[in-house]
A and B are shown apart, each in its own frame.
Chain A
């Protein structure tokens, strides 16, 4: 693997470059087109903020955006709270069937969202929850929990329990031990998990689409609806904003998670 030959080294680099191009070229083109004046994506490129101005006047998209941010923020708080407590419990206590419980956390990540969305829709109707922002929040929380538990759990692994024991021998009450030791030690993991939960909700389409009542929508749902009617660079503009936010979250997450890795 050390790549003794120059030929091998350049092959690897070329491969990496192609992969990055494949991933990012569409995004770059899309973002650039948000700043192009032509409504038909025509070249030559003429720099203009016209589509951002149009966006500023689009109440439907703005309302959808507010819904998305509000939903993602609520989801972040709820899912991070519940998930962190669950991660602590899984780390700390001997629970019957703990291994099974931990395995059961993963299928929601692998089962297609379409199926999860459908089953939630049917189930929510069946028990009377119905559709609406509250139902969407429930769905998003359920979807985010495994991520939160895994992210916070990884941070707890490796002796946070023993740190609490050490605090106790030094005279700290359980509350002091939690507040002064456990919480600060796991804080980067909790913040990272919160960002993850925010992103999971903010990017969620299928479940939101299924659980949104008429007249209520989130950004991804609204974009989907807009595209069906006809493609305009306004979509590029909103997409560019979303990309900006997502990349920002991703960077913060990566930074925190690197901290989470070292001890």
Chain B
């Protein structure tokens, strides 16, 4: 059963369509990432589910019940805001207990629940502190505990880790996922950080300009992006434009016949292919190790050393149709002691399984 269903949601702010006929079902207990650049509508979608505004059209159900006419405080949601929005005048205990206090629960019950939540987020002993006396990571945990204490139907996270530094963010990612698994709550989170989306999500939706472009498991969306936008927003991609030759191959100017799996349009149609930078094998020309189906000759024009990997910019020997130079980005794990020097003639090869056919 779907915990949250959004169907044909439309929201305009003035002339701008922030949500443009968006439909998505969030399954019970899943961790769902909404990924997109700023202005893509991901936050608008999250806030629509929370109920901060009414949709111009479309319908939202939480637990099967339409909530269009329910104000935020009656939607039984939990939300963690980007800057946490902790109540500065209340202690950690009263922040976490707030949701129960406004429901008029007895003091003893609130105390017990707060204690349970503090143990869950590993903050026991800090209940008397004020938010400003906590570190960023601790504030984040309080915000999470506060959102979960009322046992909401869905947990909404708005860039929950955006304000933390990188190391802390990675720790919190692991912890967030563990907590979510333990209590099994349906969680929808907004991020513009692709790595975060891949790490945390059971499923991802990629949004752009108020539309959902693709929904799928992280590996699906990463390995088989359907659009050029999805390919370049989630990860990096090299694009090759070509013309359909027959049912199983595409001609790319200067590179010859590239085998492509999947449903190609009729012969003669122009298509765009993508290959991820890490899918290439790169070696000096003539080394003779490459046995993949596709090979291209090129010259190293740039190399960026970043510890675990090296990013090469390889200019292809064969120019594009218009005659201008073409360069591909290639990632190579840092196995060899010496990176390839600039100017080295190289051969790139990749498996046909890694050629992605994009929808135009």
| Chain A residues within CB distance 8 Å of chain B | 159, 162-163, 165-174, 176-177, 180-181, 184-185, 262-263
B211 touches A (CB below 8 Å)? no
Known contacts A163-B87, A165-B52, A262-B132; is A171 also within 8 Å of B99 by CB? Answer: yes
| Distance from B151 Cβ to chain A, minimum over Cβ atoms (Å) | 11
B55 touches A (CB below 8 Å)? no
| Distance from A67 Cβ to chain B, minimum over Cβ atoms (Å) | 37
Chain B residue contacts of A165, Cβ below 8 A: 52, 72, 81, 85
| Distance from A100 Cβ to chain B, minimum over Cβ atoms (Å) | 20
| Distance from A171 Cβ to chain B, minimum over Cβ atoms (Å) | 5
Name the residue among B52, B102, B103 with the largest chain A CB count within 10 angstroms: B102
**Contact A171 B85, beta carbon cutoff 8 Å:** no
**Contact B72 A163, beta carbon cutoff 8 Å:** no
Given contacts A165-B85, A185-B87, 16 further A-B contacts (CB under 8 A): A159-B83, A166-B87, A168-B73, A169-B50, A169-B72, A169-B73, A169-B79, A169-B147, A171-B76, A173-B102, A174-B73, A180-B102, A185-B88, A185-B89, A262-B132, A263-B88
Chain A residue contacts of B87, Cβ below 8 A: 163, 166-167, 181, 185
User: How many residues on the B side are at the interface (Cβ–Cβ under 8 A)?
Assistant: 28
Chain A residue contacts of B132, Cβ below 8 A: 262-263
B146 touches A (CB below 8 Å)? yes
Chain B residue contacts of A170, Cβ below 8 A: 73, 78, 98-99, 102, 146-147, 150
Chain B residue contacts of A172, Cβ below 8 A: 73, 98-99, 102
Chain A residue contacts of B3, Cβ below 8 A: none
Supply 20 A–B pairs (Cβ within 8 Å), ascending by A: A162-B81, A162-B83, A165-B81, A165-B85, A166-B79, A166-B86, A169-B50, A169-B73, A169-B75, A169-B147, A170-B78, A170-B99, A171-B74, A171-B99, A171-B103, A172-B102, A176-B102, A181-B87, A262-B132, A263-B132
A-B contact count (CB 8 A): 67
B254 touches A (CB below 8 Å)? no
| Chain B residues within CB distance 8 Å of chain A | 50, 52, 71-79, 81, 83, 85-89, 98-99, 101-103, 132, 146-147, 150, 156
**Contact B98 A169, beta carbon cutoff 8 Å:** no
Chain B residue contacts of A173, Cβ below 8 A: 73, 102
> Cα distance A165–B83 when bound, in Å?
13
Chain A residue contacts of B103, Cβ below 8 A: 171
Chain B residue contacts of A171, Cβ below 8 A: 73-74, 76, 99, 102-103, 150
**Contact A167 B83, beta carbon cutoff 8 Å:** no
Q: Which 9 A-B pairs have the closest CB atoms?
A: A170-B99, A166-B85, A168-B72, A169-B79, A172-B102, A184-B89, A168-B73, A162-B85, A176-B102
Name the residue among B50, B76, B85, B150 with the largest chain A CB count within 10 angstroms: B85
> Cα distance A172–B79 when bound, in Å?
13
Chain B residue contacts of A167, Cβ below 8 A: 87, 98, 102
Chain B residue contacts of A166, Cβ below 8 A: 79, 81, 85-87
Choose among A159, A163, A168, A181 the residue that contacts B71 (Cβ–Cβ < 8 A): A168
| Distance from A167 Cβ to chain B, minimum over Cβ atoms (Å) | 7
| Distance from B131 Cβ to chain A, minimum over Cβ atoms (Å) | 9
Chain A residue contacts of B156, Cβ below 8 A: 169
> Cα distance A173–B73 when bound, in Å?
6
Chain A residue contacts of B75, Cβ below 8 A: 169
| Distance from B351 Cβ to chain A, minimum over Cβ atoms (Å) | 48
CB closest chain-A residue, reference B101: A180
| Distance from A115 Cβ to chain B, minimum over Cβ atoms (Å) | 42
Chain A residue contacts of B147, Cβ below 8 A: 169-170
CB closest chain-B residue, reference A184: B89
CB closest chain-B residue, reference A179: B102
> Cα distance A170–B97 when bound, in Å?
10
| Distance from B191 Cβ to chain A, minimum over Cβ atoms (Å) | 19
CB closest chain-A residue, reference B74: A171
> Cα distance A177–B156 when bound, in Å?
19
> Cα distance A185–B95 when bound, in Å?
13
> Cα distance A172–B100 when bound, in Å?
9
CB closest chain-A residue, reference B71: A168
CB closest chain-B residue, reference A164: B85
CB closest chain-A residue, reference B72: A168
CB closest chain-B residue, reference A185: B89
Chain A residue contacts of B78, Cβ below 8 A: 169-170
